[in-house]
Structure 1
Amino acid sequence: MIKGAIAGRVDAGADRPHGWWESPWLLAAAVFLSAVPLLYPPIPPLVDLLGHMGRYRVQLDLGQSAWLRQYYDFHWALIGNLGVDLLIVPLAPLLGLENAVKLVVVAIPPMTVAGFLWVAREVHGRIPPTAYFALPFALGHPFLFGFVNYALSIALAFLAFGLWLRLGRLGKTRLRSWLFVPISLVVFFAHTYGWGVLGLLCFSAEAVRQHDRGVGWVRSAWNAAWHSAVMALPLIIMLAWRSETHGGGTADWFNFKAKFQWLTMALRDRWQTYDTVSMAAIVLVLAESLRNRRLTFSRNLAFSGLVLAVGFVLLPRIIFGSAYADMRLAPYMVAVLVLAVRFRGAISQRLGTALAVLGIAFLVIRVASTTASMAIASDDQQAKLKALDHIPMGARVISQVGMPCTGLWDLPRNSHLGAMVVVRRDGYSNDQWTVEGANLLKLQYEKAGRFAADPSQIVRPNACPDRLRMGIDRSLATLPREDFDYLWLIDAPAHDPKLVDGLKPVWRGKGSILYRLDGGSANP
């Protein structure tokens, strides 16, 4: 039954009349609509982005700032995690760091949506009405978590995949081979995972193209591997990169409980019931596509979705010290499966209109909720960032950000708010990452001790089990007060007031308080 539902050539249906949902103006509106949630916030409130911005400040101004040189070091290297880092270099001097970051981040969802639509157009010869259900995944969990280099690489990967499909459809495989050598390098340097996704997509699509030409599956797979080998050059760079680093292990294989959670969280943002129901709606779309005899799946994209699903199952949670490797793939895997849906034969205008209306409504509602969520988070962050007005240049700040023991669905958007001390005050913040080979920033303020880096900024209620990182009282009791200038409590859980006796509050705001520490006299 399922086998019968997955059929058709790459360009099946291209010669049939187009529906109103394929209007260029409507498609362009869908592309630009994906950027709307990011327009209001001065700084996109993505979880890890603020931490990355601290690194961007160091890479830009280390040579000009005596304060930054005391705390950090930075050396460029060819690693597969440089997407936004590289774009900031020419943009920041023109726009300022914060505006440059916003410009790049705002562009990522529209690029992803454009890639989705191009792929659908190349595969189906048209835009199916169900394609609109896939577009909100451009604003999915990995993007909102602030994996901006990865999200940029995925956007580039889908745009490149659209080009791969088009050149293959036109029979220009030699030109494609030449083009995809540099294209693969661009995607790889944006982020390694995006390059891997591009390789899987191109391999699967080429295998189906070969099979549609009458070649057996085994030979088709071999030919597809040979065609895709033009993108193998980054493998040499990656092997050289990893041979020069130590640490950053790979772990947590086949954690199927976590993988199921990643699927349910593919659209995770703020409201658990709403986000979960949204994913249930996608499941219903896929189920109806299997049940309804007027709908089917493109063999091309269905096979691509299957290949990504196998990759999702095989990926561990941590690769080279970089966490959530499998989680990052989940939304895009689901999006590919949704993009695979099309009409089996002639378009039913009634069914097409119903699906298009529902798909567009789903997109608009998801964008509206994400816009509201971003605005709430941005207003909260902007209020808390007023603490920076009371922090001098070069200050050493320990931030302590409260989180519950477990069960957190609302994204922890303030977990790297302390990094704005680096961005705006050239100071030291205890929330940067120290995974060797994952980024190019090095910490050299040895007095920070246990409070040197992420996740030392995260504190939990005292009742939490010890395995869930440090409780608030224990953390406050062990602060190296003489080696830092300020303590910044952000959404802190209840704690023993005696642990902050003798500290001078210099600013208070909703959910936030800034204390002066003993090390203030040592401030540069």
Structure 2
Amino acid sequence: MGEKLHWWQTRMFVAAMVIAATIPLLWPDIPPLVDLPGHMARYRVQLAIGDNPWLHRWFDFSWSLIGNLGIDLLIEPLAPLFGLELAVKLIVIAIPALTVAGLLWIAREVHGRIPATALFALPLAYSYPFQFGFINFALSMALALNLFAWWLRLARLGRLRFRAIIFVPLSCALWVCHTFGWGVLGVLALSAELIRQHDLRRDAGSGHWFASLVRAGLGCLPLALPMVLMVFWRSGDHVTGQTADWFNWQAKYNWVMMVLRDRWQWWDVASATVLFLILVKGVRDRRIEYSRNLGLSAALLFAVFLILPRIVFGSAYADMRLAPFALAIAVIALRPRGGLSFRGAATFATLGLVFFGARLAGTTWSYWLYDRSYDRTLAALAHVPERARVVSFVGRRCQDDWAYSRLEHIPGMLMVRKLAYTNDQWSMAGAQQLTARYYAARGFAHDPSQIVTDRRCRGEWWRPIDMALEKLPRDAFDYVWLLQPPRYDPALVRGMTPVWRDGTSTLFRIDDRRPPVARAPVNPPV
């Protein structure tokens, strides 16, 4: 430990990486994450429903103790200080910064120094789950990484009693942020404690794995209290949502290849391939080895990823969310064995830094392009009066295109900026505080009614555009907002006046509330 630190191991370098991780998010007014505008709409209801009781005609909002409240709680003190949009942006900016800090801190605690290979894990701060806008999840995972690093540090310093005391409330707070982060912290802590206990008993001449596992489990009891909270949360009559789609191996393979999915498929897949090659090099290159501590942690996380179904309690993409973090822990588990020279280590560090910089540059460019798209789209809001009732239809294809338009929940900005009704809110009792109760909208009250396609898509609830326009209860809405829609029958928008247009996107004011005459659709279902 007395050796001079290399440039990639200094606190100054770590601080620079943490700051660099925020660059892609500095320019966009709204972080261009798929689900984020929808979450922002929920925050607006949360903040405004007390002063605007008429919102109760559209939504029901009631606080309850659930494991999915991270930003929902943070926004309460921050929105009055900064305004809702800036407060959300500041929180979102902190997520990749905390993720980078956590990964480097864990590497430092486990290896004693930050290994050069750890830099390759940093682009995973902008992993696909983050791009998708799972922000409570992403925040909880960023916090879990830092809490795990502190868990390791307190063990290294021998402050086990203090650790046992302080992690009781910390684990509960992490569970409230998002259950997933708490679960991952438990896996990481258990694997680290198992290795620590085994090494202690081995040094004492009794390194039996079963006894070490028992002691490790006892050492992790301070993290167990949220299990009681979980039972209360999931046992209520109000809780809905199925757990389904087990062992979908094709989907799991896709999730692994999509860990860095953003806009350009060739670039994102090539970048993921670099990470896989780094892991293979750790097996084949005798100058590099895996830490037993983090190697076991990565193995357990990959095992959980394989076991998890795609849908848990009605929440989709449960297994997908874990893939990038299992990969990140595997990458930072690598370290030089001793035969790696300073020159070799410096080369690895330089390549890792270039890789991180290249990914940041690509993400920054991508976010700038999405920001331009958002600006053009949100110009429509100037033509919507406050408290209007707007039904939005966002076009997409049945095929899962690599680059989303990221407009799927942009209608949520109607609520954020105009307190106007939007039909893109999730409505699942027990999963969040808000449920839709605008009964006049019938089947157009909540997500995914805002998604429309050119035909029926197998396994999806999305409506073809012509069906959506024909079945729409016009008397429940004032405007129809079409966002990059598929081709549709113009007769279905008769009685509506276009008040804004950008390319194929159009905002219609509903003047004639009588339903259109039934007719054969232009694009019959296939």
Q: Distance in 2 between matches of 1:137 and 1:175?
A: 32
Contact 1:301–1:336 under 8 Å retained in 2? yes
Correspondent of 2:235 among 215, 219, 243: 243
Q: Provide the C-alpha distance between the structure 2 equivalents of 1:15 and 1:70, rounded to a whole number of angstroms.
A: 67
Q: Could you tell me how far 1:118 is from its partner in structure 2? A: 0.5
Higher RCO (CA-CA < 8 Å; seq separation 6+): 1
Distance 1:472 1:352 in 2: 56
Match of 2:325 in 1: 332
Equivalent position SS for 1:133: helix
CA distance in 2: counterparts of 1:99 and 1:464, whole angstroms:
37
1:232 maps to which residue? Answer: 224
User: Is 1:32 paired with 2:19?
Assistant: yes
The amino acid of 1:212's aligned partner reads D
Deviations 1:477-505 (A, max 9, x none): 11111110100000111111221122100
Is the Cα–Cα contact under 8 Å of residues 428 and 435 in structure 2 kept in the other structure?
no
CA distance in 2, matches of 1:423, 1:463: 31
Q: Does 1:160 align with 2:147?
A: yes
The 2-side partners of 1:501 and 1:519 are apart by 8
C-alpha separation between the residues in 2 aligned to 1:192 and 1:141?
Answer: 19
**What's the secondary structure of 2:411's corresponding residue?**
helix
Amino acid at match of 1:403: R
Q: Which residue of 1 is the match for residue 351 of structure 2?
A: 358
Task: Determine whether 1:475 maps to 2:462.
Answer: no
Which blocks of at least 5 consecutive residues in structure 1 are unaligned?
A: 1-13
Q: Alpha-carbon deviations, 1:186-245, whole Å to 9, x = none? A: 110100011000000000000011111113211111111111111111111111111113
Confirm or deny that 1:223 pairs with 2:215.
yes
Q: For residue 8 of structure 1, what is the aligned residue in structure 2?
A: none
Q: Is the 8 A contact 1:295 1:342 kept in 2?
A: yes
1:246 Cα deviation from its structure 2 partner: 3.2
Q: Residue 384 of structure 1 corresponds to which residue in structure 2?
A: 377
Q: How far apart are the structure 2 equivalents of 1:467 and 1:51?
A: 20
Aligned partners of 2:456 and 2:462 also within 8 Å: no
- Aligned partner of 1:100 in structure 2 is 87
Deviations, residues 358-411 of structure 1 (Å, cap 9, x unaligned): 100000000111111111111101111011111111111111001111131113
User: Once the 2 structures are TM-superposed, how far is the Cα of residue 70 of structure 1 from its aligned partner?
Assistant: 2.1
* C-alpha displacement of 1:474: 1.3
Deviates more, 1:376-385 or 1:332-341: 376-385
What residue is the counterpart of 1:447 in the other structure? 440
Deviations 1:62-97 (A, max 9, x none): 011244232112111110000000000001011110
Quote the residue 2:74 is aligned against.
87
SS at match of 1:151: helix
Question: Per-residue deviation at 1:511?
Answer: 4.1
Q: What does the per-residue CA deviation read over 1:433-474, in whole Å, with 9 as the maximum and x for residues that have no partner? A: 012211000212101111011000001123755856211111
Asked if 1:63 corresponds to 2:50, the answer is: yes
Q: Tell me which moved more, 45-54 or 239-248.
A: 239-248
Change beyond 3 A, Cα 1:271–1:88: same
Q: Write the mapping of 1:244-393 to structure 2, written as runs, cut at 5 A.
A: 244=236, 245-345=238-338, 347-393=340-386
Structure 2 regions of 5+ residues with no counterpart?
515-526
Q: What is the CA–CA distance in structure 2 between the aligned matches of 1:324 and 1:42, rounded to whole Å? A: 27
User: What's the counterpart of residue 417 of structure 1?
Assistant: 410
| Residue equivalent to 1:501 | 494
**Alpha carbon RMSD of aligned pairs, Å?**
1.5
Aligned partner of residue 298 in structure 2, secondary structure: helix
Query: How big is the shift at 1:106?
Result: 0.6
Q: How many residues align?
A: 508
| Number of the residue aligned with 1:182 | 169
Q: Percent identity?
A: 51
Aligned partners of 1:67 and 1:426 also within 8 Å: no
Distance change in 2, residues 1:519/1:362 (3 Å): farther
User: What residue number does 2:524 align with?
Assistant: none
Q: Which moved more, 1:410-419 or 1:81-90?
A: 410-419
CA contact (8 A) 1:482 1:518 kept: no
**Partner SS state of residue 130, structure 2:** helix
